[in-house]
Structure 1
Amino acid sequence: MASTPLIADKTYLRYFWHPVCTLQEFHRDSSGGLRPLGLKLLGQDIVIARLDGKLTAMRDQCAHRHAKLSIGRIKQDGENDRLECPYHGWQYDTQGICRAIPACPDLPIPKKARTDVYDCEVRYDIVWVRLDASYACEIPIFSDWNAPGMKIAVVDSYVWNTSAERRWENFTDFSHFAFVHPGTLYDPAFARPPITRVDRIGGELRFSIEPPRAMLDQLPENSPLGAFNYRCSMPYTVNLEIALYRKPERFVLWTTSSPIDDARCRNFMIIARADDGLPDEIHIDFQKRVLMEDQPIIESQAPHDLSTDELSMATDKVSIQYRKWLRELSLAALAGKSEFEAALYTDVIETARTVQAPVCP
């Protein structure tokens, strides 16, 4: 029996900022910005090019015969760089407007000779793109990017064969720790997680838990066990602030997913911690070990999209609240700008905090 997708219309995702590559990946894969870089976001082929000293994002399609601009070249012309189509040499400026057609140099350039341009910004050494700027959305927060005394490691992105929604739920699912990460992140003896308060504040889903300190003896020295405080910018970013148990220091694990399409997501990670004298690779390798434990299970989930016929329990509270908000956003976006922004930025605060172990039906 075919399942019913939880979100019928994903148009609303075009209004959010999404990461497409790290700045290091762009420099590496574009020969230092000398060539364009082709990527995919929300099923849309896009091209990132450094033109006039700034990164520009466009639809990866020439208006003429629809060749990919990403396999063309950057044509430097003083202060006016152009992105040149590899097929017939049509040249596009930073506004996506064709400024030269070599085959017809004496004819006026048609007004339709242009390609779509998208908002493009660099933040946290990551390249972000927004396909539709109609509604007010901000680039997600990373709490410690400029925090004094914190050492920052921006990790290369990685692709999973699942939806961005599945990846987000995996990162915030408390019940799976004991079964997927025994001896890595959690002690299987503590398989019954608490039910946490979940708030909506400023476009973020916020919640926290305090795993039992008794697990410390069963976990590796570099396992970042502590009091977990989650700030999750909708729809796919998690800013996890950890007050470590082993030492009175701060540790932040930041992650976000970018929907390549409905069945694949590109994932990003930044690790921030007090300078512990250890190389970044120690912390990065530990997180990659955790990801290797998660990946085959998450990629096995079918369908890749969230569906309405999945069963939920009391311990799935975070996921339930997340799904509820996604549905509200998707429907509000269809109603209009004010409705969408109200659905995103209206705070919803729980009146009481529940910390006891759940009673499952």
Structure 2
Amino acid sequence: MTETPITRDRTYLRHFWHPVCTERELAAADPSGNGPMAVRLLGEDLVVARLGERVTAMADRCAHRCAKLSKGKVEHDRLTCPYHGWSYDASGACRHIPACPDLPIPGKARTPAFECEVRYGMVWVRLDSSYGCTEIPRFSDWEREGMRVIVADSYVWQTSAERRWENFTDFSHFAFVHPGTLYDAAYARPPVVPVDRSNGELCFEIEPAREMLASLPDNSPLGTFVYRCTMPFTINLEIELYRRPGRYVLWTTSCPVDDATCRNFMIVARSSADEADPEAEDAVHLAFQKQVLGEDQPVIESQTPAGPIAEEVSVVTDKVSIQYRKWLRELASAAQTGAASFDACLHTDVIDRRPAPVAHADLRLNAQEQAQ
């Protein structure tokens, strides 16, 4: 079988912001609480450290003899190389060479530093800021009053970020991978829904059948699913719960570690005013999500190649992933043309003016259809 990646050149991803670790993970990387911590983004080895009041990201390589700076330590708001003690500031410039402290520091004594910000309890990095038209993806409920927000530990899958995104937004797999957890296996025929591009987001929604509640556990967050997906790898899923009143949001994003590996981040937010023990409920919600991920992971990691290819056979119910892949290809092509073209491709709205989504209740397979 011929294998043609949906985007042959992934360098366009360098123009986007990607999370590389959580603040909690950075603090745990060293007893100082400041790092350093080794991370990897788009095949590049980076080091993240808190230098003073600022978290910085730079290439994980000393300019002197290429030792990994992530093996060093933070001292006096500088990152010190473990090999010869060269120390670097947040801009990546070497500020001290112990072997020759009285001589001028060579101008080439620096390591590349990258844009780095902390948001939603995560450290975000943008490798290429030259286009300047991308923003850190939105999370709808970070500061919403009355919401309890949990930033989960990150986890690594041996697959591409594109595959992980498609897994999370794939309606057709619910009945087969998550029967009795997220879905009822009797509802195996998903609806075909409108898919819009709006200000850098892919937007769509689905209304599962309420009848499925009878076969699902009490903590299964079944409801109307409203997806707002910031390109390229972030999903903000707002759920209007059927079982009880209240708001529930599941937010996830994938960091493209390399072509075949992704580090995934998750936030769970819920209204918890009526909960007697919110901390205990935190554990319940995280355990449920871990169970769902455990059902998905072996299937997704079995996909070969690790990234989606053009030769895969798609059908009409794959509309979300079809539109997603189309936009990725367009972004990759536009990035080769320049900033204006890339910006226009990312932010030009494309509205799918089809009728409203069909409820799953109207699409349930009858016993005869299931037997065929």
Aligned partner of 2:221 among 216, 224, 234: 224
- The code of the aligned residue for 2:284 comes to I
Aligned to 2:290: 288
Q: 1:26·1:32 contact (CA, 8 Å) conserved in 2?
A: no
Displacement of 1:155 in angstroms is 0.4
Q: Which residue of 2 aligns with 1:200?
A: 197
Corresponding residue for residue 93 of structure 1: 89
Q: Distance in 2 between matches of 1:103 and 1:26?
A: 30
Measured after TM superposition, the shift of residue 355 of structure 1 is 3.0
Instruction: Give the match for residue 40 of structure 1.
Output: 40
What TM-score, normalized to structure 1?
0.96
SS in 2 for 1:188: coil
Q: Counterpart of 2:170 in 1: which secondary structure? A: coil
2:325 pairs, out of 305, 315, 323, with 323
Following TM superposition, the consecutive aligned residue runs of length 4 or more in structure 1 with deviations greater than 4 angstroms are none
Considering only aligned residues, what root-mean-square deviation do their CA atoms show, in Å? 1.2
Report the 3-state secondary structure (helix = DSSP H, G, I; strand = E; otherwise coil) of the residue aligned with 1:99: strand
1:50 CA drift (Å)? 1.1
Q: Which piece of structure 1 moves more, 95-104 or 326-335?
A: 95-104
Task: Tell me the CA shift for residue 32 of structure 1.
Answer: 4.2
Moved more, 348-357 or 240-249: 348-357
The alignment's TM-score, normalised by the length of structure 2, stands at 0.93
- Match of 2:145, SS state, is coil
1:153 matches 2:150: yes
Q: 1-side partners of 2:32 and 2:312: how far apart? A: 46
Q: CA deviation at 1:34?
A: 4.0
Distance 1:174 1:242, change over 3 A: same
Amino acid at match of 2:332: S
Give the Å deviation of 1:305: 1.1
In the alignment, structure 1 residue 29 sits paired with structure 2 residue 29? yes
Alignment coverage as a number of residue pairs: 354
The amino acid of 2:247's aligned partner reads: R
Can you list the C-alpha shifts for 1:92-151, whole angstroms capped at 9, x where unaligned?
A: 111111111111223221111101111111111111111111121100000011111111
Tell me which amino acid in the other structure corresponds to 1:91.
S
1:7 match: secondary structure: coil
Query: How big is the shift at 1:49?
Result: 1.0
Label 1:35 to 1:146 Cα distance change in 2 as closer, same or farther (>3 A). Answer: closer
Matched letter for residue 68 of structure 1: K
SS in 1 for 2:186: helix
Equivalent position of 2:129 in the other structure: 133
Contact 2:26 2:36 (8 Å CA) reproduced: no
Structure 1 residues not aligned, in runs of 5+: none
Gaps of 5+ in 2: 365-372
From 201, 208, 215, the counterpart of 2:212: 215
Structure 1 residues 53-64: aligned runs within 5 Å: 53-64=53-64
Contact 1:75 1:83 in 2 (8 A): yes
Contact 1:69 1:84 (C-alpha < 8 Å) held by counterparts:
yes
Percent of pairs identical after alignment?
Answer: 63
Structure 1 residue 90, shift from structure 2 partner: 1.0
